[in-house]
């Protein structure tokens, strides 16, 4: 069971014994970061990335597209013999010397993984049976075949830029009725737009701007694409072309362009495991503009399958929040009757199911926070060995000093986490006193003043730790939670590297667009530019995302805060994600805003009689260097 709520007195006594100077200089990093769970992926393909464990992987290997440099042991007899066998085996496969291919592409090659995905999300795909499918980069064709077998589409367009290379792989699929191979690229907009025509999609109708049908779901069209590349493909200022294309696909929902000109069209997209971290973040620190836009434009945005080890990032969210998120997902899956395929669960899901069966409820913020650290496992093993050895020799055994050092760190973190909990507990008491009316206005002002004075005595590092903890907790306490990750209705299936060729773990993203706020659709010529202005507003405010809302609005344009703040009621309503505490340390900040609050901000902005024009906003953004804002990779939309 989780620890119960601790009394103020015991925690305050602990915090009084932790002076500012007792925290190491690396305290903020220690709280906010942890080691990545996956090793950094090599930029260059190695022989370890090219293990062919399925017949389809062997067929891809035999094309000769993927080659690696000979390892240093190339002169060893066993290695030479193996290479000779491989050349003999591949020489029987006829290859045209004129065929070239992109060896950065990654393909699904596991028939079992394809079947598991279809059985997992098959019920939600049933509404697309008999639809039209636009399939970008089908490549080896395994995923395309699985979708075709399930949905029996009336038409299936395969946009394959390397048609000559992959036609043998797609041969059986091309024999099915309605399937058509189009030798064009799906990420070159001129090629893609040439396919979005009655010639290729005779059953679909593009709706004019302003039509109500643009805001209705179109289940007769489904888009799937494979944008998994290793190494990442770069384009101009973008470190990953996949991120750029994903961002443009999401923006097309608001502009009703590309596929979304036929209505709200669902998209199933394969990417590398690390290409989704900015657009589908698992914690507040990574929630930038693209993530906020996906919350505004998508009914659901979920990860169907992915790495079992979590995101390979330094940031780490508080353990209780992670467990609560997994528990809620397990409950949603149980309520919906969703069954996890055998062998596909990760450790967090298994723990959540166990908690669910035992009736354990996890309430975010109800106990002292903790953070899983790699050194915890090391310390635990050292303690076990110390007991077995009846105590390490403190003078001669280096393990004793290592164990002592880790124990000191653990003790120090426990004290620090007690302080974080006490600060948040007192803030919660103020909010509850206001909501319940159990305290007079004078008493509430005294509580606010005391809390503010207490927080002001903390150093910048300690405040940074608390703000990060508070903001992540704020996201989880709302109903529904702010981020798509915490709203997910399925837990991602765990994949293995050798289920792809080359052996790079990938993930499948499932995006279902929703009706967009009318003002956010006002983009481009012949509009009031509300949507264009909104993106500039977001970039400006998120570039100073930890500043109070009133300061962010004042920096955006003079007079904006004076007009908007008094009328922006949701930022003070705790039921809608607001905070109503008179202290700069408790103020709502831009990065804490949920999608409904962003929409309300846009409404108020357009009501402001003295708002600047779109052109003036662009000029100010460029002068202040905030055009790119929080997601610098997505500063502009570029057509390839």
Q: Per mean pLDDT, which range of 30-34, 121-125, 443-447 is the poorest?
A: 30-34
The phi and psi torsions of 204 (rounded to 5 degrees) equal: -105, 150
| Residues 6+ away with beta carbon under 8 Å from 503 | 48, 49, 50, 51, 497
Q: Note whether residue 298 is domain-resident.
A: no
pLDDT exceeding 90 applies to what percent of the chain? Answer: 64
pLDDT number for residue 34: 34
Q: Per mean pLDDT, which range of 163-167, 226-230, 309-313 is the poorest?
A: 309-313
This prediction has a pTM of 0.84
Query: Is 25 in the same domain as 94?
Result: no
Is pLDDT at 640 greater than 50 in this prediction?
Answer: no
Is pLDDT at 635 greater than 60 in this prediction?
Answer: no
572/570 Cα distance (integer angstroms): 5
pLDDT number for residue 590: 96
From residue 431, alpha-carbon distances to 446, 450, 462, 484 in Å are 13, 14, 22, 26
Give the relative orientation of helices 289-297 and 530-542 as an angle to the nearest 10 degrees: 140
Averaged pLDDT for residues 259-269: 97
pLDDT exceeding 70 applies to what percent of the chain? Answer: 84
398/418 Cα distance (integer angstroms): 31
CATH code at 202?
3.40.50
pLDDT number for residue 38: 36
Instruction: Please provide the DSSP assignment of 444-504 as one string.
Output: HHHHHHHHHHHHHTS-HHHHHHHHHHHHHHHHHHSSS-SSHHHH-SSPPEEE-GGGEESS-
512: confidence class by pLDDT, cuts 50, 70, 90: very high
Query: Is 384 in the same domain as 451?
Result: yes
Question: 């426990």: which residue's tokens?
Answer: 414
CB 584 within 8 A of CB 622: no
From residue 2, alpha-carbon distances to 7, 363, 422 in Å are 15, 9, 17
Beta strands in 19-119 (DSSP E): 107-108
Q: Note whether residue 496 is domain-resident.
A: no
pLDDT number for residue 68: 67
Query: Is 16 in the same domain as 134?
Result: no
Q: Per mean pLDDT, which range of 165-174, 383-392, 432-441 is the poorest?
A: 383-392
> Which range in 41-55, 65-79, 441-455 is most confidently predicted, on average pLDDT?
441-455
CB 63 within 8 A of CB 140: no
Q: Note whether residue 525 is domain-resident.
A: yes
pLDDT number for residue 370: 86
Report pLDDT digits (tens) over 302-348. 999 998 776 655 667 889 999 999 999 999 999 999 999 999 999 99
Is pLDDT at 25 greater than 50 in this prediction?
Answer: no
Summarize the chain as % helix, strand, coil (round to 5). Answer: 50, 10, 40
Q: Note whether residue 401 is domain-resident.
A: yes
Is pLDDT at 411 greater than 90 in this prediction?
Answer: no
Is pLDDT at 628 greater than 80 in this prediction?
Answer: no
**H runs (alpha helix) in 62-154:** 77-91, 111-125, 142-151
Q: Note whether residue 530 is domain-resident.
A: yes
Output Rg (C-alpha) for the chain, integer angstroms: 27
pLDDT number for residue 636: 33
Averaged pLDDT for residues 260-284: 93
pLDDT number for residue 391: 76
pLDDT number for residue 313: 55
Q: Find, among 617, 622, 594, the residue nearest to 533 by Cα.
A: 617
Query: Is 157 in the same domain as 230?
Result: yes
Examine the fold and report which residue of 231, 249, 272 is the final residue of a domain before the chain moves on: 272
Q: Note whether residue 350 is domain-resident.
A: no
Q: Is 363 left (phi over 0), alpha (psi -120 to 50) or beta?
A: beta
Is pLDDT at 1 greater than 90 in this prediction?
Answer: no
399: confidence class by pLDDT, cuts 50, 70, 90: confident
Q: Per mean pLDDT, which range of 79-93, 111-125, 553-567 is the poorest?
A: 79-93
| Number of domains composing the chain | 3
Averaged pLDDT for residues 263-292: 92
CB 616 within 8 A of CB 610: no
Q: Is 359 exposed, middle or buried (0-12, 13-18, 19+ CB in 10 A)?
A: exposed
Mean pLDDT computed over every residue of the chain: 85
| Residues 6+ away with beta carbon under 8 Å from 559 | 608, 610
Q: Find, among 2, 34, 14, the residue nearest to 418 by Cα.
A: 14
Q: Which residue has the higher pLDDT, 441 or 37?
A: 441
Averaged pLDDT for residues 460-480: 91
pLDDT number for residue 78: 58
Query: Is 212 in the same domain as 76?
Result: yes
Is pLDDT at 413 greater than 80 in this prediction?
Answer: yes
Is pLDDT at 203 greater than 80 in this prediction?
Answer: yes
CB 252 within 8 A of CB 258: yes
Query: Is 452 in the same domain as 543?
Result: no
128/573 Cα distance (integer angstroms): 40
- What is the domain extent for residue 266? 49-272
531/239 Cα distance (integer angstroms): 26
pLDDT number for residue 18: 40
Query: Is 103 in the same domain as 229?
Result: yes
Query: Is 252 in the same domain as 200?
Result: yes
468: confidence class by pLDDT, cuts 50, 70, 90: very high
Query: Is 151 in the same domain as 31?
Result: no
CB 468 within 8 A of CB 284: yes
Query: Is 104 in the same domain as 19?
Result: no
> Which range in 15-24, 64-73, 207-216, 412-421 is most confidently predicted, on average pLDDT?
207-216
Q: Is 387 exposed, middle or buried (0-12, 13-18, 19+ CB in 10 A)?
A: exposed
Q: Find, among 623, 30, 7, 1, the residue nearest to 314 by Cα.
A: 30
Q: Note whether residue 59 is domain-resident.
A: yes
Examine the fold and report which residue of 245, 272, 299 is the final residue of a domain before the chain moves on: 272
No. of H helices and E strands in the chain? 23, 10
Q: Note whether residue 17 is domain-resident.
A: yes
Averaged pLDDT for residues 588-596: 95
Residue 395 CB neighbour total at 10 angstroms = 7
Averaged pLDDT for residues 229-249: 87
Q: Per mean pLDDT, which range of 309-313, 330-334, 390-394, 496-500 is the poorest?
A: 309-313
Query: Is 147 in the same domain as 263?
Result: yes
Is pLDDT at 9 greater than 50 in this prediction?
Answer: no
Examine the fold and report which residue of 272, 294, 327 is the final residue of a domain before the chain moves on: 272
pLDDT number for residue 461: 81
Averaged pLDDT for residues 600-617: 95
85: confidence class by pLDDT, cuts 50, 70, 90: low
Averaged pLDDT for residues 430-450: 91
pLDDT number for residue 86: 57
Query: Is 19 in the same domain as 131?
Result: no
Report pLDDT digits (tens) over 350-377. 999 999 999 999 999 999 998 887 777 7
Q: How many residues does the chain have?
A: 640
254/639 Cα distance (integer angstroms): 17
């Amino acid at each position: 069971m989780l620890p119960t709520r601790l009394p103020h007195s015991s925690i305050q006594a602990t915090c009084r014994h932790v002076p500012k100077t007792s925290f190491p200089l690396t305290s903020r990093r220690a709280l906010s970061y942890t080691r990545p769970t996956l090793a950094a992926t090599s930029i260059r393909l190695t022989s370890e990335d090219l293990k062919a464990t399925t017949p389809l992987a062997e067929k891809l290997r035999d094309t000769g597209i993927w080659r690696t440099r000979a390892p240093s042991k190339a002169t060893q007899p066993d290695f030479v013999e193996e290479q000779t066998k491989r050349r003999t085996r591949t020489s029987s496969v006829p290859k045209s010397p004129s065929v070239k291919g992109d060896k950065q592409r990654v393909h699904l090659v596991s028939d079992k993984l394809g079947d598991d995905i279809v059985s997992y999300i098959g019920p939600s795909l049933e509404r697309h049976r008999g639809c039209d499918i636009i399939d970008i980069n089908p490549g080896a064709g395994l995923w395309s075949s699985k979708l075709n077998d399930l949905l029996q589409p009336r038409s299936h367009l395969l946009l394959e830029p390397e048609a000559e290379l992959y036609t043998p792989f797609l041969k059986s699929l091309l024999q099915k009725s309605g399937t058509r191979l189009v030798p064009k690229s799906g990420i070159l907009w001129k090629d893609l737009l040439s396919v979005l025509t009655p010639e290729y999609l005779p059953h679909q109708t593009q709706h004019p701007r302003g039509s109500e049908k643009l805001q209705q779901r179109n289940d007769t069209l489904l888009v799937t694409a494979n944008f998994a590349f290793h190494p990442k493909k770069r384009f101009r200022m973008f470190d990953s072309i996949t991120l750029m294309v994903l961002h443009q696909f999401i923006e097309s929902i608001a502009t009703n362009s590309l596929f979304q000109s036929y209505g709200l069209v669902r998209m199933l997209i394969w990417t590398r495991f690390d290409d989704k971290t900015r657009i589908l973040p698992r914690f507040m620190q990574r929630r930038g503009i693209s993530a906020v836009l996906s919350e505004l434009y998508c009914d659901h945005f979920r990860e169907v399958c992915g790495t079992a080890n979590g995101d390979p990032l330094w940031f780490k969210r508080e353990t209780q929040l992670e467990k609560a998120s997994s528990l809620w997902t397990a409950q949603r899956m149980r309520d919906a009757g969703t069954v996890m395929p055998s062998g596909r669960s990760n450790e967090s899901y298994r723990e959540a199911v166990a908690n669910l069966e035992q009736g354990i409820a996890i309430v975010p913020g109800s106990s002292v926070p903790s953070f899983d650290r790699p050194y915890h496992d090391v310390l635990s093993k050292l303690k076990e060995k110390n007991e077995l050895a009846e105590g390490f020799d403190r003078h001669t055994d280096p393990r004793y000093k290592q164990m002592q050092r880790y124990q000191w760190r653990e003790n120090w973190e426990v004290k620090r986490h007690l302080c974080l909990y006490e600060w948040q507990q007192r803030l919660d008491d103020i909010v509850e006193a206001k909501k319940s009316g159990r305290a007079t206005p004078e008493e509430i002002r005294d509580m606010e003043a005391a809390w503010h004075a207490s927080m002001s005595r903390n150093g910048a590092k300690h405040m940074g730790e608390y703000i990060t903890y508070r903001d992540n907790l704020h996201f989880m306490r709302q109903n529904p939670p702010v981020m798509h990750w915490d709203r997910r209705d399925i837990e991602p299936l765990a994949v293995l590297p050798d289920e792809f060729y080359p052996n790079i773990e990938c993930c499948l993203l499932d995006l279902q667009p929703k009706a967009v706020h009318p003002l956010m659709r006002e983009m481009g010529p012949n509009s009031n530019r509300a949507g264009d202005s909104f993106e500039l507003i977001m970039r400006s405010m998120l570039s100073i995302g930890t500043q109070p809302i009133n300061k962010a609005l004042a920096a955006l344009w003079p007079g904006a805060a004076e007009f908007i703040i008094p009328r922006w009621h949701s930022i003070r309503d705790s039921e809608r994600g607001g905070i109503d505490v008179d202290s700069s340390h408790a103020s709502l900040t831009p990065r804490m805003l949920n999608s409904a609050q962003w929409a309300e901000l846009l409404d108020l902005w357009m009501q402001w009689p003295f708002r600047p024009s779109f052109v003036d906003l662009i000029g100010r953004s460029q002068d202040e260097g905030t055009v790119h804002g929080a997601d610098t990779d997505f500063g502009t939309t570029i057509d390839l």
